Amino acid sequence: MRRAYVLFLLLIAGASLAYVLSPVRSASAAVSPVRFGIGDQHTAMFDDPRWQALGLRITRYNVPWDAPEDPVALAVARDFVEAARDHDVQVLLQITGRTYDDEREPLPSRAAYGRNLKKLIAIFRPLGVTTWGVWNEANHPTEATFGRPDRAAQFFLEMHADCTGCTINALDLLTQGTPRSKGVASYRGYTQRFFAALGKKASLVKIIGIHNYGELLTTGGAGISRDLTTYARRWNKRLRFWITESGGIASNRSRTCDEERQRVGEVRMFSHAAALAKNGVDRLYAYNWTADDCGYLFDSGLIRADGTARPALKAVQTGARNFSR
C-alpha cells in the first residue's frame, strides 16, 4: 500500500513538472527564425553593457563607396569592423553614397565603383567581412543611384565578380510607393528596372534588403514589405530578404522629436519582422544604437548623447528575446 502511494505521488510530481516546463518549451519553439542585430556607426556600442546583454551576433555598418580615397573614413570603418570582430559579431558592410550640402553626389562609373570595391574587399575580407551590401537605399533621392537601377545592377555584378563566396545584399530598397506605383523611385518600379538590367543574370541575386520605416509609422501592418517580397520573386522564386534598416524614428526633417513614437515603432518593427518570416525574411537589423539628440536630419538612436536610454531601448530588450541571434 505504501509503495503504491509513493508511486502515485511520483506520478503526480512528474505531471506537475511537465506542466511547469511545457510553457518553457513552447516559448523556445516560438522564437522567430529571423536573426536580430543592431546597426550603428560607432564602436562605443560594443562596449556598452546594455548592448552586450542582448547577446547579438550581427551588425551593419555603412561605408562610403570611395572610402579607399578617404583615410579618415577608412580608418573609422576599420575600427568598427575590428571592434565587432573582437566581440564575435559579423558585420554586414553596406556600401553607401554621400551627400554634400544636402545634394547627392554624382553617380560613380562602374569602373570607379569596381576599383574602390576591390580595395575595400582587400582591406576588410582579411578582417573577417564576408557579408556585403552593394549600395545603401538605392532608390532614395539622396543616393547617387536614385533613378539609375541600371547602374545599381552593374554595381551588383561588380561585387558578385570580385567577392567570390561572399553573401551579398544585392539591392537595398526603401519601401517607397504602393503596389500600384510604377515610378522608378518606388520599390516596384526600381525592382523591375533593376532585374531588367540584369537580364539572364537575374538568378545571381540571392538577397534583397528592405528599409521599412514608413510602415512603422502607421497601423497598416507590413503589407508593403510583403508585396515587395512577392513582387521581387517574379524574377527569382528563391530570393531571400533582409530588413537591413528598421526601427522607430525619434526625429527627422519632417518630424519633431517624439520618443514615444520611436518606442511604438520599435514594437512594430519586431511584430512586422516576425510576420514576414514566412515571406522569406531571414534577418532584421535595427538602426541604430547611438542617438543624435533629435538632430534635424535623422535620429533613431536608442541611447541619448548623455548615455541615458530612451524608452525605445526597453522595447528592443523585450522584442529581441523572441528573435534568433
Q: Which residue has the cell 556585403?
A: 132
Res 99: pLDDT? 82
Per-residue pLDDT of the chain (325 residues; tens, 9 = 90+): 444 444 434 434 444 333 333 333 334 447 999 999 999 999 999 999 999 999 999 999 999 999 999 999 999 999 999 999 999 999 999 999 998 767 889 999 999 999 999 999 999 999 999 999 999 999 999 999 999 999 999 999 999 999 999 999 999 999 999 999 999 999 999 999 999 999 999 999 999 999 999 999 999 999 999 999 999 999 999 999 999 999 999 999 889 999 999 999 999 999 999 999 999 999 999 999 999 989 878 999 999 999 999 999 999 999 999 999 9
**Which of 162, 163, 161, 107 is CA-nearest to residue 135?**
107
Q: All domains of the chain, ordered by start, with CATH?
A: 35-324 (3.20.20.80)
Point out which residues pair with 37 in neighbouring strands: 285
pTM here? 0.90
Please state the three-class secondary structure of the chain as a single string: CHHHHHHHHHHHHHHHHHHHHHHHHHHHHCCEEEEEEEECCCCHHHHCHHHHCCCCCEEEEEEECCHHHCHHHHHHHHHHHHHHHHCCCEEEEEEECCEECCEECCCCCHHHHHHHHHHHHHHHHHHCCCEEECCCCCCCCCCCCCCCHHHHHHHHHHHHHHCCCCEEEEEEEECCCCCCCCCCCCHHHHHHHHHHHHHHHHHHCCEEEEECHHHHCCCCCCHHHHHHHHHHCCCCCCCEEEEEEECCCCEECCECCCHHHHHHHHHHHHHHHHHHHHHCEEEEEEECCECCCCCCCEECCCECCCCCECHHHHHHHHHHCCEEC
- CA gap 296, 250 in Å, rounded: 10
**Which of 242, 38, 240, 212 is CA-nearest to residue 133?**
242
The phi, psi pair for 201, rounded to 5°, reads -90, 10
- Helix (H/G/I), strand (E/B), else coil: 62: strand
* Whether residue 288 has a cis bond before it, omega within 30° of 0: yes
**Which of 219, 211, 127, 134 is CA-nearest to residue 177?**
211
C-alpha cell at 125: 575580407
